[in-house]
Structure 1
Amino acid sequence: MPLLGGIRPPIAVLCILILALSGLTAKVLGPAGDTVVPKAVLSSQRYFAEDGAIALRSSIDERVADLQRTATAVNSGSSVKPERVLSDLSRAYQKWTGTTVLDLESGEVLAARGETIPLAWLDEDTLTGGKALKPRIVRLETGDVRLMTMVVLEQAGQPQQLLVASSSLTVPAINLGPFRSMSVVAEDGEVLATAGFERAESLNSDQERAELSFRHQQMTRLADQAAKRAEQHPVRAKEPGARGYPGVSGTLLGGEHNGRVATVGYASLASSDPDEKQSVAAGLGLSVVSLLPVVRQEAGQSDRALLGLAAAGALVLLGLVAVAVLWRNVQRPLLHLFLESRRLARGDLHRPVSVPKRGEAARIGIALERLRRRLTGDDPAAGPPAPRRRMGTRGPLVITGVLLLLWCVPVGLLLNRTDATVSVPTTIVNDQRERTDMMADRLRRALNEAQADLVSVSHLIEEGNERGTDSLLNDALAKHSRYQSLYVVDPSGAVSARAGGEPHAWSNGEDQPEVQVGGKGGKLPILQASAPVSEGKGGTLVGEIRVQFLNSLLVRPGLGEVRVVDADGLTIASSGGFTAFEKLPGEALDNLVRAANVRVGAGPVENGLLIRGGGKVTVAAAAPFSGGGVTADIGWTLVSRQDAGHLRIAPYEREDRSVLAGLLGLAAVIVCLGWIHLVVVRPLRALATSAEKLADGDLKTVLYPRYQDEVGAVVRSLELLRQQAQAHRQNPTHRTADPRVEGK
């Protein structure tokens, strides 16, 4: 018999699959092992570090772009004094701790503002243009770290000058919670800036001081490991086909103190689009490291092991019964028919056929007995009667399927089911809240940066030069993808110059905010930022911010759906689809937004919660826009929510494993029983019909075997018996099979 033909292979495969699935069930439904920290918590630390790296990279790239934009404006205009350059720069962007203009030829300081910038790090190659003017990281005598950004000023009729701007290199200014710490780490593992470490003098007990010392020690040690891992190529650092963060990111586990394990998430600064040119910040070799001591997770309980063993044992028991049903009602009758038909075909007609009890096998056995009696000259009608109950071969398949489904359905649909009472680690709620606060800060800074860009452009607008203004606006629109249109509005509301899409009405007035939202009743809100035209008579430069730009900032893994709502709780932007100014889904989120705005002065410490209902748990958080800039009093709030079922928490993982085990069992049932039905049951039913016709006297229809298996062997034997019956009809005195046929 061929290896894959007949009744034996599918039953054998079913046995193997049942044993394999039972072993897998005992493993995956048993204890998960001694996992120190839940996987969801580790993933959250990695996401937290990635958010910090994105915020830091955007901040550094914006500083470089702002300085280059200023240099372009200065170089293209009329000659201005260095003091005027620094004055305009500080008025447009309040992000520099100090600025200086040097004469490139002599190195003399021509103008300076803010804190004194040390110039010892400047060498001759830099001053003569021998080195690329990329940002430098400089540590001051006080121990503080500064990021030095440089650009060359080339004004007509003046020697080349070097504009140097100094800014603090800090982690994003967000609430880190009571135990989290964040650091900016250099390529060699040196910690350049930290946040979240309180002063030891302010601690009230030795235990708190020991906790702080533990965190300092772990940050120093794990930051060095993170820096080494960040040196890998982003593609080689990930699994094949993995997507997500374009840089290198991951998690580390440190030491343990008072039942808490130091967990670290790290992420290197990477370009937002790896297919484009690498950003300036991405070339500095910096990484962001986030450290959080997490309560150690308890080891798996023994009752889970018993549950896994019980489920595996039940599968083995039901599998044995199911295989026994197939063996007794399908395999054994078919093999018996194969032996009986071959005996008759070889000429042994003296012994009656042993007929199976039921089904198609019984019908074929009765037909064989009638053929035997016809060949021996006896009355065929005196053979055994037809079976009364024709359950058929499909009956055992149904019974087998039902037996196995008795295991698959309860395991897949009932075992380890979760509901709204699932316990979610507090760390997950805290991380959701703090990441939401970080996202709100990032969005606030992006809007402030958009308004600052308008201020920078407005200083270059010349009154009465409409053609030059149009060219200036088109150039600015090409450089800033956040705008969909730019236009200048005079005091009467008329548009005097424009670039990009169709402008919308702008409300002038002393009490009007610099960022306005309109478009109610439409599909998308209209976001407008403004800046007064310095040399105009009450004119205003208006930039319409693309809603898609805000939506793109809100998309981050591990946060779920993120929305920006106004003071009335109406949606302005969302990481998913939304309709302009639609309400939040659910009263619980509205209450969360109101509570967050009430506590805005105290920080977002309590602005996270678990929403239980509808048989599921939702982790939600809200963070109002707070801080400096034009969006400080805008009244917007960032709201995030995600289904806890998407988190890698033990109860949900056990539920997923149970569903997987049930689906695997169902797949095994479908494959193996479908295999038996196709290669055995259907051919056997067709063979039973052909055998009955042959026994009734149809000796003209030739029987062709389609498969090289037991059913095909029975078909070949029936064809030989048909030929013998034809010979017997032509020669009634012939009582035995032809020797040549018997030899076959």
Structure 2
Amino acid sequence: MSLLGGIRPPITVLSVLLLALAGFTALSLGSVREDKLPAAVLTSQQHFAEDGAIALRASLDESVTDLDRVAALFSAGKPVAPDAVLDRIGSVYQKWRGTAVVEIASGRLLAARGENLPLTAVDRTKLAGEGGLAPRMVKLANGETRLLTLSLLSWKDQPQQLLVASSSLRFPGISLGNFRSIAVVGPDGDVLSNDGIPEPEMVLTDLQRDDVKRDTKQLKSFAKTAAKRARANPLTAKEPGSGGFLGVSGSLMGGEFGGDRAAAGYARLAGPEAGVGTEATSLQLTVVAMVNVAQSAGRTSDAFAGLVLAGALLLVGALVIAVLIGTVQRPLITLFLDSRRLTRGDLARPVTVPRGGEAARIGTALERLRHQLLEGTDEADGADGDTAGSGSGRRGGPLRRTGARTLVAVCAVLLLAWCVPLGLLVNRAGDDVVVPQQLVSDQRERTDTLNDRIRRALNEGHADLLSVASLMGEDTDSAHMRTLLDRTLQEHLRYQSLYVLDRSGKVLAQAGGGPQAIEGKGPREEPITVHSGGKEPVVVGTAEIPGRDGTAVVGEFRIDFLNSLLRRPGLGEIRVVDSKHRIIASNSGYRAFQKLGDDRLDALVEGSSLKVGMSPRPGSVLYRSGGDHVIAAAAPFVGGGAAKEMDWTVVSWQSVKGLAIHEYSLQNRTVLAGLLGLAVGAASLGWLWIVVIGPLRELARRAESLADGDRRTVLYPRNHDEVGAVTRSLEIIRQQLQQRQQQRKQAGAGGKPSSAPAGRN
């Protein structure tokens, strides 16, 4: 018999799979536990740390790029006095705590602004080597850490100068909310800076001082563990194809105090593309975000319910297997044995005819064929023999009513009776789902952080335009202006077009794509605005060139650049909308300037933008409707810079169903058990239908045709199994009957009958 064919393998596999599914149901549904700190909260802290790592990496790399570009632009022109260099940098950028210009040959300090820089930490003899100008971290006498960014100023026939800028390792625009702290951790696990934990001397009460000491100790413990885990290879630290953050990230759970438990997420600085390092990633820094979360009473799913469902499946499975064995397997094996007996010439015993279905039809045909072989008559004689028998030669009628198709359908209905309720009725999460408040707060804070990241990106872009405009000055040479624009466009991917526009609207120099936001007049007065005259929004930045009345440098931002900033795992759908609630940018497909299409989101955006006695504040809410709970948050643009007048709002929302919450985890596992049951039933019964039931129905038709006198149609077996064996036996019987028919014709014609023996199996 064929290994995969026959009646036994499908039924055996179905039995094993149903038994395994019953075990999975009992163990899976009985082990869904809700910890006192849900997994969704820990995952949210991991995403929070990833946001911090992205913001810090972008800020550090932006500082390095800006300083290098400014130094290159100064070096491309005429020599400038050190004080003038620092003054011009300070008028454009306010990101550095201190700047200085040092003569490399002598080490003499030529000019300085801001805080005193630890210039002794810079080895001037190694600046020319590989990595000599790489940013470096130094620790000040007061214990604070500074990042020194270096670049060269060089002019012909002038001594080389070193431009140095220092910045603190603070997070730009991270919204911490309440009871959260975030820290930058060095490669050895030391906390280099932290936000959110006040200094002990600022705390007024002993109780608050104890809380600060405990949080500081817990943060240091998290920092050591995170730095150790962050050394792993990003390719092995997460599951293949998981996507999301490109670096190493994870979550940690700390100690418990007063009903609260410390939870933390960590993320190591990673480049914007997989396998691509930057100046910031070479520092091997890790971000740790910690928050104290109120614990909930731990719950466990009812193990008895899982056992009941598993027991019900065992009963259903036993009934299905019994039906298949009793009505399909045993009758088919009996037919196989009887058909072999007839081909060997054992015609004394009647054929055992099953009770119904195709097996009964085949058995009846075999019994009729036995009489035909036994009596040596044709169809008329065979009919008499049938009548003389036990009545097993009856045709048609009741034998066809309960065929194999009906039996398979009954088995499928029995399995569906167990699977469908699991997918639609059992353990359904309703309106009473407990959603941790921390998730709602995290949605708000992360949305606010993303809002600040977009605002700062626009401000940085406008600052670049101001820098280019200040370097152009009164120079009207179009070649020089084009050189500055080309260099800026190559160093910053945020622009799709850069050009110089005079007061009459004429383009004096251009780099990149063609201008799309020219309205036939001079430059706009707004530093940043949106041009909505085309098919897609065009964000336009304008910086007037000093000393050239009405002439300005104009930059058009790529919308794809804004869309790329919105790709944050764990925030769901994200949109940037204007004051009319029209979509400007998105992290998924959208049409430019279309509406949000949800009254609840419109109301949330409107509420967060209200300015009643205070500045607009981010807001978040949990919508409960029909079991589909949605967490939504909105954060309006707040803060200084050129983008403060944009009046944009970042809104995000996500369904709670995708979060690791107890009720949904139990529901998902229940649905999974039901789907597995459907897959097991469909695969096994489908296999049985293809291999056995279909060929069996065809065999019944041919067996009846043979018994009715069809001696010409050759019977070919499809498979080497029980049905195929019965088919081969019927073919041998056909040959025997055909030979006897020829012998009778020869005898009736007066010829001598052939003495050749009948065919054997």
Question: Shorter-chain TM-score: what band?
Answer: over 0.9
Q: Could you tell me how far 1:294 is from its partner in structure 2?
A: 2.6
Which residue pairs with 2:494 in the alignment? 482
Whole-angstrom CA distance in 2 between matches of 1:8 and 1:602: 77
Hey, what does 1:197 align to over in structure 2? 197
Amino acid at match of 2:284: G
Tell me, what secondary structure is at the counterpart of 2:624? Answer: strand
Residue number in structure 1 paired with 2:750: none
Tell me, yes or no, if structure 1 residue 385 matches structure 2 residue 394: yes
Quote the residue 2:481 is aligned against.
Answer: 469
The residue type paired with residue 702 of structure 2 is S
Residue deviations 1:133-179 (CA, integer Å, cap 9, x gap) = 11121222222221111112112232111111111211233331221
- CA 1:310 to 1:209, structure 2 compared with 1: closer, same or farther past 3 Å? farther
Q: Please point out which of 615, 627, 637 is paired with 1:625.
A: 637
Secondary structure of 1:640's partner?
Answer: strand
The answer to which of 321-330 and 166-175 deviates more is: 166-175
Confirm or deny: 8 A CA contact 1:153 1:161 kept in the other structure: yes
Aligned pairs (5 A) from 1:248-327: 248-276=248-276, 278-301=277-300, 304-327=302-325
Deviation by residue 1:239-298 (Cα, 9 ceiling, x = unmatched): 33443322211112222222333222111111111354x210010111111112233454
Does residue 1:514 correspond to 2:527, yes or no?
yes
Q: CA deviation at 1:387?
A: 4.5
Cα distance between partner residues in 2 of 1:77 and 1:399 = 88
Residues 40, 610 of structure 1: CA spacing in aligned structure 2 closer, same or farther, 3 A cutoff? same
2:357 is matched with: 359
Where do 5+ consecutive residues of structure 2 fail to align?
387-392, 748-754
Point out the more displaced range, 622-631 or 413-422.
Answer: 413-422
Report SS of the residue matched to 2:641. Answer: coil
CA distance 1:306–1:203, shift in 2 (3 Å): farther
Q: Check whether the contact 1:459–1:535 (CA below 8 A) recurs between aligned residues.
A: no
Q: Secondary structure at the match of 1:492?
A: coil
Match of 2:549 in 1: 537
Alignment CA distance shift 1:686-1:731 (3 Å): same
Q: Which sits farther off after the overlay, 123-132 or 335-344?
A: 123-132
In structure 1, the residue matched to 2:389 is none
> Offset of 1:385 from its aligned partner?
1.2
Distance in 2, matches of 1:325 and 1:343, equals: 27
State the superposition RMSD in angstroms.
2.5
Residue 75 (structure 1) aligns with: 75
Q: Relative to structure 1, is the Cα distance of residues 697 and 533 closer, same or farther in structure 2, using a 3 angstrom cutoff?
A: same
Q: Is the deviation greater in 636-645 or in 48-57?
A: 636-645
Distance 2:708 2:333 in 1: 24
Q: Assess if the C-alpha contact under 8 Å between 1:463 and 1:536 holds in 2.
A: no
SS of the residue 1:436 aligns to:
helix
1:14 aligns with 2:30: no
Distance 2:522 2:460 in 1: 23
Q: Structure 1 stretch 49-58 or stretch 409-418: which is displaced more?
A: 409-418
TM-score by length of 2: 0.92
After superposition, the C-alpha distances for 1:504-537 in whole angstroms (9 at most, x for unaligned) are 23698999421111215x3211211111101312
Match of 2:470 in 1: 459
**Is the CA contact 1:181–1:292 (under 8 Å) kept in the aligned structure 2?**
yes
Deviation, structure 1 residue 109: 1.0
Deviation of the 1:75 alpha carbon: 0.9
Query: Do residues 328 (structure 1) and 323 (structure 2) align?
Result: no
Aligned to 1:569: 581
Q: Give the AA of the match of 2:319.
A: V
CA distance in structure 1 between the aligned counterparts of 2:254 and 2:506, rounded to whole angstroms: 63
Q: Are the equivalent residues in 2 in contact too, given 1:19–1:316 (CA < 8 A)?
A: yes
Q: Is the 8 A contact 1:103 1:159 kept in 2?
A: yes
Q: Does 1:677 align with 2:689?
A: yes
The Cα shift of 1:576 comes to 1.7
Provide closer, same or farther for how the CA distance between residues 407 and 3 of structure 1 changes in structure 2, counting only shifts above 3 A.
Answer: same
Letter in 1 for 2:268: S
Distance between the aligned counterparts of 1:64 and 1:718, measured in 2?
88
Give, in whole Å, the separation in 2 of the partners of 1:402 and 1:206.
Answer: 70
Does structure 1 conserve the Cα–Cα contact (< 8 Å) formed by 2:33 and 2:300?
Answer: no
* Alignment-derived partner of residue 179 in structure 1: 179
Partner of 2:419: 408
Amino acid at match of 2:383: A
Asked if the contact 1:346/1:741 (under 8 Å) is kept, the reply is no
1:376 correspondence with 2:374: yes
| Partner Cα separation in structure 1 for residue 428 and residue 5 of structure 2 | 41
CA contact (8 A) 2:523 2:542 kept: no
Letter in 1 for 2:294: V
2:236 is paired with a residue whose SS is: coil
Change in 2 beyond 3 A, CA 1:255/1:507: farther
Match of 2:94 in 1: 94
- What amino acid does structure 2 have at the position aligned with 1:452? A
Task: Select 2:672's aligned residue among 657, 660, 668.
Answer: 660
The equivalences for 1:108-187 within 5 A come to 108-126=108-126, 132-187=132-187
Tell me the residue number matched to 1:432: 443
Alpha carbons of structure 1 residues 340 and 511: separation in structure 2 relative to 1, 3 Å: closer
1:292-328 superposed Cα distances (whole Å, 9 cap, x missing partner): 22334544435x2122112111111111111111111
Percent identity over the alignment is 50
8 Å contact 1:596–1:604 — kept in the other structure? yes
Q: Cα gap change, 1:94/1:431 in structure 2, threshold over 3 Å: closer, same or farther?
A: same
Q: Which residue of 1 aligns with 2:220?
A: 220
> Which residue of structure 1 lines up, in the alignment, with residue 751 of structure 2?
none
Amino acid in the other structure paired with 1:322: V
Counterpart of 2:461 in structure 1 is 450
Q: CA deviation at 1:569?
A: 2.1
How far has the Cα of 1:34 moved from its partner? 6.0
The CA distance in 1 between the partners of 2:760 and 2:531, in whole Å, is 97
The answer to whether the 8 Å contact 2:618/2:635 transfers is no
In 2, Cα distance between equivalents of 1:508 and 1:632: 25
Partners of 1:435 and 1:600 lie apart in 2 by 24
Where do 1:469-618 residues align within 5 Å?
A: 469-503=481-515, 504-505=517-518, 512-520=525-533, 522-598=534-610, 607-613=619-625, 615-618=627-630
In structure 2, relative to structure 1, the CA distance for the partners of 1:131 and 1:399 (3 Å cut) is closer
Letter in 2 for 1:284: L
Compared CA separation, residues 530 and 506, structure 1 to 2 (3 A) = farther
- Find the aligned partners of 1:212 and 1:725 in 2 and give their Cα distance: 101
What residue is the counterpart of 1:398 in the other structure?
409
The match for 2:652 among 640, 647, 651 is 640
Name the CA distance, whole Å, in 1 between partners of 2:96 and 2:204: 36
1:739: Cα distance to partner? 11
Q: Distance in 2 between matches of 1:419 and 1:706?
A: 53
3-state SS in 1 of match to 2:730: helix
SS in 2 for 1:138: strand
Contact residue 75 and residue 156 of structure 1 kept, 8 A: no
Aligned to 1:693: 705
User: Distance between the aligned counterparts of 2:725 and 2:612, measured in 1?
Assistant: 84
Per-residue displacement from partner, 1:429-460 (whole Å, max 9, x unpaired)? 11111111111111111111000000110122
SS at structure 1 position matched to 2:712: coil
Check whether the contact 1:487–1:542 (CA below 8 A) recurs between aligned residues: yes
* Conservation of the 8 A alpha-carbon contact between 1:523 and 1:579: no
Residues 92-148 of structure 1 show CA distances to partners (whole Å, capped at 9, x for unaligned) of: 111111111111111111111111213232335346768611112122222222111
SS of the aligned residue for 2:75 comes to: helix
* Structure 2 SS opposite 1:631: helix
For normalisation by structure 1, the TM-score amounts to 0.94
Shift of 1:568: 2.6
> Structure 1: which 5+ residue stretches go unaligned?
none
